[in-house]
Homo-oligomer: A and B are copies of this chain.
């Protein structure tokens, strides 16, 4: 299939390589030309703009960092919309506000271009190993057209609902994961303050009713005092902005998510944006010194 791929960062590059490896014709664009180099060396064609990518592609995948970037790539000057033919599909796989996904989809629809929002969980390892969990929103028949592509990139693909619903599911995912990290941090702080060995507490809990991937991974980083990312906390901070923005738009009361957002704000204020989100433990420690 003739594919476009825009956003060749830590996640996007290995994803694009998987698509190239299974034989698709790949057209790529990167703001910094050198970001596209490994893919061009592997057989992809470099384009001068998103519009040029769109003109050559049946399906374009975007994997850029935030909502404004997606709007720029899709609708801006030399954006996809200026090169796309009717029937093209944009699959946006980054994490952006559901509202932005809906707005971009509506603008593209006027030109006969379809859109799927398909954010992922699983991080860099999931991208490299093609084991991402993909949460998709959009029309079922459009999703069916791109399903083989997505199944090349992930191990699970769930169609959640209409456009934006994939982003809603991703916001839910981030809420649950970061809440688990914060809860682990509070538990580890309590254990420390009580004179109990946090690592023994973690081990005692990990196999029981409090067990989770977060206990296995993030809580272990806390007890090892190793706060290197992992997942850079600034990305979870960004995601909580999306989450609470959507909650405000919908009028959905999320009291605990709102409290966690403040803890992430405190983490950012401490200058730990590029540390792992397990540094939420250090935020609590700062407040108890």
Once A158-B200, A196-B165 are accepted as A-B contacts, the answer to whether A263 and B252 lie under 8 Å apart by CB is no
Task: Determine, out of A5-13, A31-39, A106-114, A201-209, the stretch whose residues face the partner at the interface.
Answer: A201-209
Once A169-B201, A254-B189 are accepted as A-B contacts, the answer to whether A177 and B123 lie under 8 Å apart by CB is no
Q: Name A189's contact: one of B177, B252, B259 (CB within 8 Å).
A: B252
Q: Which residues of B contact A194 (CB under 8 A)?
A: 98, 164-165, 168, 246, 250, 252
| Bound: A139/B1 CA distance, A | 68
Per-residue CB contact flags for chain A residues 64-91 toward chain B (1 = under 8 Å, else 0) read: 0000000000000000000000000000
| Bound: A32/B141 CA distance, A | 64
Task: Determine, out of A15-23, A47-55, A210-218, A267-275, the stretch whose residues face the partner at the interface.
Answer: A210-218
A148 interface residue per 8 A CB criterion: no
Q: Name A180's contact: one of B158, B169, B183, B243 (CB within 8 Å).
A: B183
A213 touches B213 (CB 8 A): no
Q: Which residues of B contact A262 (CB under 8 A)?
A: 255
Q: From A205, which residue of chain B is reached at the shortest CB distance? A: B173
Copies in the complex: 2
| Bound: A180/B179 CA distance, A | 7
A253 touches B284 (CB 8 A): yes
A152 interface residue per 8 A CB criterion: no
Question: Closest approach, in angstroms, between the C-beta of A193 and any C-beta of chain B?
Answer: 4
Chain A: number of interface residues, binned into ranges: 35 or more
Q: Name A204's contact: one of B158, B177, B254, B257 (CB within 8 Å).
A: B158
Top 7 A-B pairs ranked by shortest CB distance? A179-B183, A212-B212, A172-B187, A158-B204, A133-B208, A176-B210, A193-B252
A205 touches B255 (CB 8 A): no
Q: Looking at A201, A215, A250, A259, which has the most chain B CB atoms within 10 Å of its CB?
A: A201
- For residues 182 through 199 of chain A, which have their beta carbon under 8 Å from a beta carbon of chain B? 182-184, 186-191, 193-197
